[in-house]
Amino acid sequence: MDQYFAKDYTGGAFELFGTAHLAFIAFVVFCLVVLLPRLRGKDERYLRRFRITYTVIMVVNELAWHIWKAWIGEWSVQTMLPLHMCSVFVILNSIMLLTRNYRIYEFSYFLGIGGAMQAVLTPDAGIYGLPHFRAWQTLIAHSMIMSAAIYMTVVEGYRPTWRSLGRVFLWANVYMLVITGVNLLIGSNYMYTLRKPDTASLIDVLGPWPLYLISLELVALVVCVILYIPFAIKDWRARATVAA
């Protein structure tokens, strides 16, 4: 059992789109497509228990990562403060689920789904392949971040607007500027604003620093527009029906 929590794991690196990874993705898709819609129509007391339970699991999973990093001697303010986008969304989604805050939902829908989906498909687990704790932790964390926004959309009936996209894009850039200041102050690299991550990632094909930051902005904008397309089509059909 200790080997599944070991710092120097010898069980093999994460196998991208290996059998275990594909099985996890299939399970997430099953939960979102089959199980999640069944929550629609449930009474508020039931849904509130669901949101609280979901939040607890998400937070405990995040705390377990911090505890593990401290246990193996790798916790530091330069790497483990909750400033990367996914760590931020563990906090924001917890507030969103408990309070049903719409403003947070806007950010969670575009940035939470867009970022976490990429992390589920190409997780940054490094040498830690399944069934190591770190591999499970990163898959669970990002799938729950993504699913929280989908829950609010499918079950609670929330939806973004074009103005939502504008607000998200504006404040995401403000946040990135603030994080760059933090990085310069404490010698960190949160949000990878000062250099590329040490491990292979999508950023590697987006050009050198600082050009990859501009490329990431364009990729993020395209992803956000794609995520909005279902609502744009729905609105277009509604206007066409009224006009007819």
CA distances from 204 to 70, 115, 144 (A): 29, 16, 26
**Higher pLDDT pick, 158 / 240:** 158
**Is 2's pLDDT higher than 80?**
no
φ, ψ dihedrals at 17, nearest 5°: 60, 30
> Average per-residue pLDDT in the chain?
93
Contact 112, 94 (CB under 8 A): no
Query: Residues 93-99: what's their mean pLDDT?
Result: 98
5 in the Ramachandran plot: left (φ > 0), alpha (ψ -120 to 50) or beta? alpha
Q: What is the pLDDT of residues 223-244, one digit of tens each?
A: 999 999 999 999 898 888 777 6
Contact 47, 154 (CB under 8 A): no
Residues 6+ apart with CB under 8 A from 202: 118, 122, 219
Least confident of 77-81, 163-167, 207-211, 220-224: 207-211
Please give the pLDDT value at position 82. 95
Q: What is the pLDDT of residues 26-62, one digit of tens each?
A: 999 999 999 999 999 999 999 999 999 999 999 999 9
**DSSP letter, residue 34:** I
Q: Quick one: CA dihedral 130, 132, 137, 140, positive or negative?
A: positive
